[in-house]
Structure 1
Amino acid sequence: MLYPGSIKPLYEQLKDIIKLNITDGNLKPGEALPGERQLMETYGVSRVTIRQSIGELVNEGFLYRKHGKGTFVAPKRIERPLARLMGVTEELALDGLNVEMKVFKTESQKATPKIRQKLKLAEEEPVFCIARIITVAQEPLSLDYNYFPQSIGQKLLNANLSKDLIYTQLELYGYKISTGKQKISAGKATKEEAKLLQCKLNSPLLVVKRSTYVESGLPIVYSQALYRGDRYEYVIDLQRQPFGLEKNNV
């Protein structure tokens, strides 16, 4: 039975219980959720209530469905702080995650006006693109596109781009990375992106665009990372400053 006397709708109560079992580790990522009949018997609710609860948990990214197989606990979302200047794989490696990278593009190409502006390139100067799929626990997490001035990008071809960290390689070549400017927005997976990330067309994506600079202030790489919205999120720690205190300290 659910909580007696609670004013919460039954489907919300059931949602809370399933979410608590997931966060407490009683239901682990990849584990099948009990069938509808078992949930009906355990909690004394209708099939309609169960389907509404499960449907919302799927939409919120706690569960996922496999056609003909059932409903399963989704992989735990990866949380990252915003304040550090690190590459995608550097961030994930810090958590001891099983990170793999697969290169699917290394080529010189004509720079778009936006990329040319971000890298301060001359009008006809080409850009070098390195694009990789980042997987964690054998599940696609992110598409990582990196654009470099041609002369810099060509140097990285000597590295093993399926293993080596791009920022680390740049520093080995003597480029002292110092600052970055990053923008985060929402997006939807295109047909090609959905295929690479193994998600549905128009699935929500977290889009992270970043310009990275060396000590002289010149840009060295412009990157765009597309994260599956159901598997990745950023976390910001906030501190309360009493209203008016900053003004009084001036």
Structure 2
Amino acid sequence: MKINKELAIPLYQQVKDYLHKKIISGEWAAGYQLPAEKDLATQFGVSTITIKRAVLELVDEGLLYRQSGKGTFVMHIEEKDISKFVTLKNEEWEAQHHPHKTLYFNIVQADDELAALLRIEEGDLMYQIQRLKIQQDQPVALEYSYIPQELFPDLHQEDIDDNLLYNIFQRGYGVQLDKAKIYFSTVLADEYQAESLNVERGVQLFVFERFTFNNDNHIIEYSKFIIKQDQSKYFLEIKL
């Protein structure tokens, strides 16, 4: 592949994007050894310095790793189901243990922004919850949840420890869930997010925003999930 030197995109970024596609698509499987940097430079028609920068950025992002005296290899990328992070309804998961560390639980008045998101009146009481989702004793996601108090008047912090909100809604209050609407975006980790998720400040994180509706088409919960990428490839499987 030759690089288009007339594009405004930096040469190293074009190389990086090409290598990234090879890895994410699975064409280069875990353990695959990349050609030597001088060979890649010849292939792309660029300098070895350009190749080195592209490769090092992919190493920093956890997609490649280097072994002294041996070369550069593709890192194992674990596949993770997106729906497990945003807790889509699944009977099998309802019976499982779901480790969460509650960082904040309080009842506050909804400001104008959150009132609009939840379709309630400004000043109405709501639960403001912040939790850390744990997998294999490691933090994987920050979860911010906002729930109208009127719908769940007796909710306490001990109810949500190591439990799914959906379990509480259905089992504790008999709420019939109808649908969830989810928005996807990314964010660069700020100091607090980096410290909570054990990542470097400024790394890219996934953001999932979830609105849950009951059978009356009322929003019963709004949650934002800040998820670290690690060496993972996320998927969403839908049964047709």
| 1:17-166 matched pairs, under 5 angstroms | 23-24=29-30, 52=53, 54-63=55-64, 73=75, 76-80=78-82, 87-88=86-87, 100-157=99-156, 159-166=158-165
Contact 1:64 1:72 in 2 (8 A): yes
Deviation at 1:50, TM superposition (A): 8.9
CA–CA distance in 2 between the matches of 1:205 and 1:114?
23
Moved more, 42-51 or 204-213: 42-51
Deviation at 1:87, TM superposition (A): 4.0
CA–CA distance in 2 between the matches of 1:75 and 1:110?
43
> Cα 1:50–1:76, aligned 2, differ >3 Å: closer, same or farther?
farther
Q: Deviations over 1:100-146 (max 9, x none)?
A: 31110101123232210122222321221121111222232111111
CA–CA distance in 2 between the matches of 1:77 and 1:215?
33
SS class of match (1:156): coil
The normalised TM-score by structure 2 is 0.65
Q: Deviations over 1:23-63 (max 9, x none)?
A: 45x59xxxxxxxxxxx9xx9776797995564143254324
Contact 1:181 1:212 in 2 (8 A): yes
CA–CA distance in 2 between the matches of 1:201 and 1:130?
23
CA RMSD of superposed structures (Å): 4.2
Could you tell me which residue of structure 1 aligns to residue 228 of structure 2?
228
SS class of match (1:117): helix
> Cα 1:106–1:8, aligned 2, differ >3 Å: closer, same or farther?
same
| 1:184-195 matched pairs, under 5 angstroms | 184-195=184-195
Contact 2:139 2:197 in 1 (8 A): yes
Deviation at 1:198, TM superposition (A): 1.0
> Cα 1:221–1:53, aligned 2, differ >3 Å: closer, same or farther?
same
SS class of match (2:114): helix
Could you tell me which residue of structure 1 aligns to residue 45 of structure 2?
none
Q: Which 5+ residue runs of structure 2 have no aligned equivalent?
A: 4-14, 39-47, 67-72
CA–CA distance in 2 between the matches of 1:167 and 1:53?
43
Contact 1:110 1:126 in 2 (8 A): yes
> Cα 1:64–1:215, aligned 2, differ >3 Å: closer, same or farther?
farther
Could you tell me which residue of structure 2 aligns to residue 171 of structure 1?
170
